[in-house]
Amino acid sequence: MELSPKQQEIRDREELLLDVAQRMLLERGYEDLRMDRIAEAVGVSKGTVYQHFGSRDDLLAAVAARSAATRA
C-alpha cells in the first residue's frame, strides 16, 4: 500500500523524532530526556511530539521497539 504524501510526511517526522530521542537518550540519559528538548531539536512544537507519542514513556517504548526490531 502506497502512502499519501501527508502520511509519508507524518511517518518521516515520527522517524526523526525517534532518531533524536535515541541520540539524546544515549548522550544525556533518561532523566534528562524531555519532550520540549526533542521538539526544539526537530524544529516542531512540543504538542506535535505529543501527537505522535502520548508520553515520554510511550516515546521510550517506541525507541526500544525500533531498536529491538533493528537488531532482530
DSSP state of 54: S
Q: Which helix (H) or strand (E) holds 32?
A: none
Tell me the whole-structure pTM to 2 decimals: 0.90
Q: How far apart are CA 64 and CA 11, in angstroms?
A: 17
Q: Is the pLDDT of residue 70 over 90?
A: no
Q: How far apart are CA 28 and CA 11, in angstroms?
A: 25
38, 45 Cβ separation under 8 angstroms: no
Q: How far apart are CA 70 and CA 12, in angstroms?
A: 17
Residue 9: the pLDDT is: 95
Q: How far apart are CA 40 and CA 47, in angstroms?
A: 11
Residue 52: the pLDDT is: 96
**8-66 pLDDT tens trace:** 999 999 999 999 999 999 999 988 899 999 999 999 999 999 999 999 999 999 999 99
